[in-house]
Structure 1
Amino acid sequence: MSWAESYHGRLRAFAGDEEVLIFVGARCLLRDDGGRILLIRRSDNGLWAVPAGGMELGDSVRQCAVREVWEETGLTPTELAPIAILSGADSTVTNQWGHTYQSHITVFLATAWTGELVTRTDETIDAGWFHPDQLPAPHATSVPALLRLLEHYDRTGEFVAP
């Protein structure tokens, strides 16, 4: 589905460019047995990032995470654990098109999946597995923050919701 057809795309078109909108979605850290994290290279901005996206009407946040991973990688997560929620004023960002969103994002850790990795989709121009200390550049500013959340989760088992 294109951005214009998505719930958030239709909402943005209705509200106009100036309004701050709440964006509800999911990000998914896929970690393999070797401790590597799957990153995708986004087709819209060329940055390496984790699979992520917005909820559609009727989605649960878990369904959103699974759908976004599948759309961007060809993989279907089968074991997901929510590790954090990112929300509030600190989660307000303006994107490359000048649209401002306050995000409410559930971060998941996936440790099992089915399917074969696809490196090119409508939303991605590459994908690969990377050790957290060997991240490709350029990467989204969210990647190091997500890896810190994962490290905290691994160390404490705590779900983070600042």
Structure 2
Amino acid sequence: MSEGYVLDLRKILGPRPLVIACASLIIYNNEGMLLQKRKDTGCWSYHGGSIEPGETAEEAARREVFEEIGLTVGDMELFTVCSGEAQHFCYPNGDEVHIVDVVYTSNEFSGAILLEASEVTDARWFPFEQLPKDVMPSTQAALLNFAKKMMEQKHIK
């Protein structure tokens, strides 16, 4: 989680559970999805993070992608909003969150992948039918649903 609003709250509230608004992005092409390996958990995930005060969800998703992997995103489409028990997460440092995640998709991006070493250890393309086994639990449902949708569309054409 990057510095900003949530870090300021943590200084006051400590590790107790917080409900956090987040925005995320599934980057894809015709063959698969670009996932990142998180430094904090060692799991694969889509790209995203918390929404800062005054920021739209779209702005936050674009900012997070640029900060985490160096890509600039074009048009985005709302895919889903994830909430509930599956979005409950405890960071390795003990901070606890309940995430409401606005998840977008985009196949319009530019730039070269440049990893933010403090958050991301790797970024790779995965075919829709061969996602990694160690996907972060809070992103798994959205990733699997998007992969299924894309595989169904490929078979229809």
TM-score (norm 2): 0.83
- Which residue number in structure 1 is paired with residue 33 of structure 2? 37
The answer on whether the counterparts of 2:38 and 2:121 sit within 8 Å (CA) in structure 1 is yes
Deviation of the 1:143 alpha carbon: 4.1
Unaligned runs of 5+ residues in structure 2 are none
Q: Deviation string for 1:21-58 (max 9, x for gaps)?
A: 11111121001122x10111122222221111111122
Please give the residue correspondences for 1:55-74 in structure 2 after superposition, counting only pairs within 5 Å: 55-74=51-70
- Which residue number in structure 1 is paired with residue 7 of structure 2? 9
- Which residue number in structure 1 is paired with residue 111 of structure 2? 115
How many equivalent residue pairs? 152
Unaligned runs of 5+ residues in structure 1 are 157-162
Whole-angstrom CA distance in 2 between matches of 1:139 and 1:91: 14
Three-state SS of the structure 2 residue aligned to 1:8 is: helix
The answer on whether the counterparts of 2:75 and 2:106 sit within 8 Å (CA) in structure 1 is yes
Deviation of the 1:138 alpha carbon: 3.1
Amino acid at match of 1:13: K
- Which residue number in structure 1 is paired with residue 137 of structure 2? 141
Whole-angstrom CA distance in 1 between matches of 2:115 and 2:132: 15
Deviation of the 1:153 alpha carbon: 5.6
Whole-angstrom CA distance in 1 between matches of 2:53 and 2:128: 34
Whole-angstrom CA distance in 1 between matches of 2:87 and 2:139: 14
Deviation of the 1:121 alpha carbon: 3.5
Q: Single out whichever of 84-93 and 71-80 deviates more from structure 2.
A: 84-93
Deviation of the 1:123 alpha carbon: 1.8
Matched-pair identity in %:
27
Residues 1:88 and 1:44: Cα distance change in structure 2 (over 3 Å): closer
